[in-house]
Structures are given as structure tokens and as C-alpha cells.
């Protein structure tokens, strides 16, 4: 049979792990990665691994190792073999490969090591360019390791889950379509308002509108929670997102358990202390105290709302002693991430700010989703927690001085802060994974 012949051609488990490491290596290697459709190949390999029941940890480690090795060799080649590489015929015939990487590195500096890893055409060139610019290895390799630690799950887990769940997942399509329509309308509103705001010349218009919109949404959610207007949607969506207790469900929960640690109070306040030290060094005491006050106020406000509403958690989360509404992890992660986004985005042009805020929003959304997946919060709990963070970040942006030189000019300082935060978060997640 044709199908049997096809499955006989599939690599064995041990070989597949090596193949994924090789794909990650080639996709990260200077210039070679331009020709390798890494995203598609990694997704396919991860899907096959999920179908074969290969351990996810082994898969993540292999992709991580391949990416680190490829980027590391690219950096060394740029540092010590730049001129011979530039004289290669294929490089001389395509000068745009290097020019795009050099422009990207010049624009974002050391931060490009992190964000460049997730941008296909730039990814295999930035490490080489960093080497040619004589970036210090002690600055490059910690960022390389930390970003690869994030890159590996982002590129591997979707395909792996597709393979594992191909025949075992059951979906309430009506509820899914209803939810997607709501999300689509929200994105349309966001896109339209965002265009108007970015075209507006008044710098404080955007945070003011964000504050008013978030406050109105927050008030509406409090009303909905009080009147139980969306109780059925809340329960149905929880059932859709909370996995069953089979092997696939346990895998999803393990992943969610790592993501949710980004909202742990210990990590949030440790990261907050690092940021306060950085603000004291590069900006001002006033801004440091403002940041600290908003971060602490976010936690206190969330705790107060929990007591006022006293909403019970879902049945699977009632072993926790605190109330459910709103989600503390979602609120803490959202507040920290959006406050950080304000700091990093300050002084950059609109396209760069957009990517910074979008990155913060994606991570905050993953933390919020993890709380529902783990079965300890209802969907409305985490949505409200996310909006809390937007409110406090908008207040922070409105309180910034008109010209904050420490935030607008110190790209080197921002790169240093990013390294500190990346190392802190990566270490915390690793400890959580093995504890």
C-alpha cells in the first residue's frame, strides 16, 4: 500500500531528533538559512515527532542546541572571517543580504539579537553582522542563549501539539466561531483606532485614548461579572480551553505551567526590582518611584477586587485559597510587561513601538490563557486581569515627562536591561521546569 510505504520512509525517533537539530542549525547558520524553509520544516518535523510520541523536552533541547550552535558559528565567522566571507561570489552577487542585516542591527543595536531571531529574512544574518561589528562575546552569547530558549518552544510546540492532537481533539465549532468573530471585531476596532492614533501628532493622545478605552472596558467587565450576563459563554469557553485528563491534556497543562510562571509574584517583583535599579541608574528617582508605585498598586488593586467580588474559582482550581476574579497572574504579568513596553518603546519611531507593544501583548495573552488551561480561572477573570495591566501602563505613559532623555537616548542601557530581564526570566522558568 502507498500509505504503508510512506510511513516506512519516516525517520525513527532518534533520527528525527537529530534531523530537527540539523534544521535548526542550518536555519540559524549565516546565509545558509536564507535558502532553508526552516519554519515549515520544523513544523513538519515537530508534527511527526508528536505523532510518534517523542518526548517534547528532547525535541526542544535539540532545536535549542541547533539554533545556539548555528548562531554561535555565524557570530564567530563574522568576528574573525568577515572579509573572506564578504569576498565569496554568492555574497558579492547578493549585497542586499548583508545590507538588510546591517541596517537592522544599526537600528536596533543589541536588541536585534533577540527580535531578529524571529524574523525570517534577517535571522541568519544578524549574528554574522554582530560579529563583524566586534560585539563582545560576553554580551552576545547570553542573549543568544536566552532568545534561543524562547525561540525553541515557539517554533516546535505548535507542530508538536498538532501531531499529538490530530486524532484526539474535539472542538465545539459553534463556540469557536462565535469567539473568533468577537476577536475579529476587536482586532478591526484596534487596527482602525491604531491608524488614527499613529497619524495623530499629539504624543499623549494614544495613551489617553488607551486609558479611557481600557477603563470603559474594565467597567463593562465589572458590570458583566456582577450581573453574570456572560455566564454561559464564560463556562462554555472554559470547557473549550481546559483540556481533559488524557496524555494530550497533561502535555498542554505542563506547557501552561511553565508559561504561567511568568506571572508569579516572585518573578514579577524581582523583575520590577531590576527595572527600578535600571531607572535609578539611567533615568531618575521620580520615574523609578512611579514605576514601583504602579506595579505595587496593580497588585493591591487586584487583591482588593478579589475580596470585593469573592468569586469562586472553577472546580479544578478550588484548591487555591484566593478568589477567582480577576486573575492575579494575568494582572501582574500584564502590568509588568506593558510597563516594560512603555520603557522600551519610548523614543522609537511608530513601527518599532508597534512591535514592542505587540510582543508584550502576546506574552501577556499567553500567561492569561495558561490560567484557563490550568483550570484555575474563568476566561472573564483573565481578560479583566489583562485590561488592568493596560490601565496602569497607560497611566505610566501619561506620567512620563515630555522629554525623558534617559529613556529616549540610552539604547545601550535598554539593551543591558533586556539582557538582565531575559536571564532572570529564563532562569526562573528553568528552575520552575525542574522543581
pLDDT one-digit tens code per residue, 391-435:
999 999 888 766 555 565 455 677 778 888 888 888 888 888 777
What gap in Å lies between CA 376 and CA 209, rounded to an integer? Answer: 32
- Of the chain, the percentage scoring pLDDT greater than 70 comes to 82
What gap in Å lies between CA 332 and CA 310, rounded to an integer? Answer: 19
Q: For residue 195, what pLDDT is reported?
A: 54
Is the predicted pLDDT of residue 79 greater than 90, yes or no?
no
Looking at residues 169-191, what average pLDDT do you find? 59
Residue range(s) defining the domain that contains residue 230: 172-434
Looking at residues 183-205, what average pLDDT do you find? 56
Looking at residues 179-186, what average pLDDT do you find? 63
Q: For residue 191, what pLDDT is reported?
A: 57
Looking at residues 100-104, what average pLDDT do you find? 77
Q: Which of 208-222, 304-318, 375-389, 390-404 has the lowest mean pLDDT?
A: 390-404
- Residue at 407 is within a domain: yes
Q: What is the mean pLDDT of the chain?
A: 79
419, 273 Cβ separation under 8 angstroms: no
Looking at residues 161-189, what average pLDDT do you find? 61
pLDDT level of residue 4 (50, 70, 90 thresholds): very low
The answer on 298 and 181 residing in a single domain is yes
What is the secondary structure of 190-257 as a DSSP string? HHHHHHHHHH-S-TTHHHHHHHHHHHHHHHHHHHHHHHTTTHHHHHHHHHHHS--SSHHHHHHHHHHH
Looking at residues 291-316, what average pLDDT do you find? 91
- Residue at 381 is within a domain: yes
pLDDT level of residue 347 (50, 70, 90 thresholds): confident
Q: For residue 6, what pLDDT is reported?
A: 36
Per mean pLDDT, which of 6-15, 276-285, 330-339 is the most reliable?
A: 330-339
The answer on 177 and 108 residing in a single domain is no
Q: Which of 49-63, 124-138, 158-172, 338-352 has the lowest mean pLDDT?
A: 158-172
The answer on 390 and 331 residing in a single domain is yes
The answer on 134 and 37 residing in a single domain is yes
Looking at residues 314-322, what average pLDDT do you find? 83
Q: Residue 403: helix, strand or coil by DSSP?
A: coil
Q: Which of 35-49, 171-185, 311-325 has the lowest mean pLDDT?
A: 171-185
Is the predicted pLDDT of residue 131 greater than 50, yes or no?
yes
Per mean pLDDT, which of 111-125, 205-219, 392-406 is the most reliable?
A: 205-219
The answer on 178 and 151 residing in a single domain is no
Q: Which of 101-105, 127-131, 252-256 has the lowest mean pLDDT?
A: 101-105
Is the predicted pLDDT of residue 196 greater than 80, yes or no?
no
Q: Which of 49-53, 130-134, 308-312, 346-350 has the lowest mean pLDDT?
A: 346-350
Q: For residue 10, what pLDDT is reported?
A: 44
297, 392 Cβ separation under 8 angstroms: yes
- Of the chain, the percentage scoring pLDDT greater than 90 comes to 18
Q: Which of 6-20, 72-86, 112-126 has the lowest mean pLDDT?
A: 6-20
State the number of CA atoms in the 13 A half-sphere of 180 facing the CB.
7
Burial class (CB in 10 A: 0-12, 13-18, 19+), 76: middle
- Residue at 302 is within a domain: yes
Q: Which residue has the higher pLDDT, 245 or 393?
A: 393
Which of 142, 162, 182 terminates a domain? The answer is 162
User: Taking Cα atoms as reference points, which of 71, 91, 40 lies closest to residue 135?
Assistant: 71
Which of 133, 162, 191 terminates a domain? The answer is 162
- Residue at 167 is within a domain: no
- Residue at 181 is within a domain: yes
The answer on 302 and 242 residing in a single domain is yes
Q: For residue 397, what pLDDT is reported?
A: 87
The answer on 195 and 103 residing in a single domain is no
What gap in Å lies between CA 103 and CA 168, rounded to an integer? Answer: 46
The answer on 190 and 75 residing in a single domain is no
Looking at residues 131-157, what average pLDDT do you find? 83
The answer on 188 and 85 residing in a single domain is no
Q: Count up the domains in the chain and report the number.
A: 2
Which of 162, 194, 227 terminates a domain? The answer is 162
Q: Which of 228-237, 254-263, 390-399 has the lowest mean pLDDT?
A: 228-237
pLDDT in tens, 30-46: 777 777 777 788 888 88
- Residue at 224 is within a domain: yes
The answer on 222 and 151 residing in a single domain is no
The answer on 203 and 119 residing in a single domain is no
The answer on 372 and 298 residing in a single domain is yes
- Residue at 293 is within a domain: yes
Amino acid at each position: 500500500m502507498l500509505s504503508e510505504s510512506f510511513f516506512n520512509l519516516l525517520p525513527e525517533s532518534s533520527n528525527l531528533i537529530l534531523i530537527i537539530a540539523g534544521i535548526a542549525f542550518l536555519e540559524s547558520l549565516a546565509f545558509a538559512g536564507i535558502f532553508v524553509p526552516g519554519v515549515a520544516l520544523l513544523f513538519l518535523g515537530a508534527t511527526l515527532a508528536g505523532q510518534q510520541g517523542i518526548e517534547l523536552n528532547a525535541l526542544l533541547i535539540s532545536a535549542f542546541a541547533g539554533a545556539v550552535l548555528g548562531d554561535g558559528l555565524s557570530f564567530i565567522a563574522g568576528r574573525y572571517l568577515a572579509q573572506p566571507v564578504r569576498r565569496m561570489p554568492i555574497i558579492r552577487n547578493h549585497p542586499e543580504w548583508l545590507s538588510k542585516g546591517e541596517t537592522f542591527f544599526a537600528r536596533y543595536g543589541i536588541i536585534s539579537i533577540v527580535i531578529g531571531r524571529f524574523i525570517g529574512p534577517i535571522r541568519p544574518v544578524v549574528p554574522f553582522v554582530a560579529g563583524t561589528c566586534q560585539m563582545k562575546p560576553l554580551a552576545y552569547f547570553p542573549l543568544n542563549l536566552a532568545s534561543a530558549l524562547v525561540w525553541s518552544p515557539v517554533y516546535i510546540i505548535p507542530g508538536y501539539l498538532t501531531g499529538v492532537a490530530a486524532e484526539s481533539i474535539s472542538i465545539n465549532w459553534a463556540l469557536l466561531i462565535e469567539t473568533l468573530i468577537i476577536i475579529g471585531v476587536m482586532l478591526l476596532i484596534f487596527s482602525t483606532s491604531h491608524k488614527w492614533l499613529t497619524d495623530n501628532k499629539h504624543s499623549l493622545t494614544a495613551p489617553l485614548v488607551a486609558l479611557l478605552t481600557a477603563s470603559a472596558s474594565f467597567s463593562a467587565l465589572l458590570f458583566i461579572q456582577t450581573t453574570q450576563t456572560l455566564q454561559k459563554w464564560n463556562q462554555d469557553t472554559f470547557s473549550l480551553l481546559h483540556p481533559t485528563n488524557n496524555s494530550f491534556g497533561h502535555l498542554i497543562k505542563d506547557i501552561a505551567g511553565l508559561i504561567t510562571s511568568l506571572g508569579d509574584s516572585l518573578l514579577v517583583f524581582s523583575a520590577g526590582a531590576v527595572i527600578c535599579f535600571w531607572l535609578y541608574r539611567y533615568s531618575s528617582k521620580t520615574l523609578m518611584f512611579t514605576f514601583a508605585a504602579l506595579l505595587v498598586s496593580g497588585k493591591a488593586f487586584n487583591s482588593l477586587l478579589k475580596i470585593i467580588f469573592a468569586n469562586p474559582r472553577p472546580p479544578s482550581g478550588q484548591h487555591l485559597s484566593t478568589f477567582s476574579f480577576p486573575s492575579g497572574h494575568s494582572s501582574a504579568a500584564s502590568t509588568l510587561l506593558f510597563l516594560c513596553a512603555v520603557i522600551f518603546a519610548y523614543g522609537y519611531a511608530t513601527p518599532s513601538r508597534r512591535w514592542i507593544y505587540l510582543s508584550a501583548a502576546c506574552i501577556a495573552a499567553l500567561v492569561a490563557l495558561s490560567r484557563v488551561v490550568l483550570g484555575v480561572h474563568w476566561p472573564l477573570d483573565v481578560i479583566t486581569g489583562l485590561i488592568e495591566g493596560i490601565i496602569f501602563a497607560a497611566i505610566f505613559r501619561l506620567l512620563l515627562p515630555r522629554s525623558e532623555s534617559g529613556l529616549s537616548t540610552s539604547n545601550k542601557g535598554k539593551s543591558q536591561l533586556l539582557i538582565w530581564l531575559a536571564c532572570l526570566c529564563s532562569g526562573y522558568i528553568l528552575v520552575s521546569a525542574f522543581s
